[in-house]
Amino acid sequence: MCPQRVGRYATYSSSTSRTLTLSSLDNAKQYTIQLYSSRSNTGQSTRFTVNGVNVDIASSQNKTNIATFNNITPASGKITITVRKLNNYDYVNGFTVTEK
């Protein structure tokens, strides 16, 4: 799913939700965003939301699933990603942003 060095560590939260804001992006371009979520805890899932579109990832022992958002256009140079826990915690190991 992601490089081993990226998957080895995760940021996590027990808050209901948190946001990740990507800035200094070109409003005239589109982007693909991929977010990685994996952890050894069982029974955990993470919901990623961009522009009202949700992608849920079963984070427990996840080695294959990636939250992917295609053709995202920034507003005022920014893309905001909401990260929500669906159980006790949400997990983010890392992400990639690809300009189209």
Q: Distance between CA atoms of 48 and 92, rounded to whole angstroms?
A: 10
pLDDT score at 84:
98
Q: List, in sequence order, the alpha helices (H) in the chain.
A: 4-7
Q: Distance between CA atoms of 52 and 10, rounded to whole angstroms?
A: 24
Measured distance between the N- and C-terminal CA atoms of the chain, rounded to whole angstroms: 21
pLDDT score at 6:
79
Q: In terms of Cα–Cα distance, which of 62, 8, 58, 66 is closest to 36? A: 66
Quick one: tokens of 85?
A: 């826990």
pLDDT score at 78:
98
Low-confidence residues of the chain: pLDDT under 50: none
pLDDT score at 7:
74
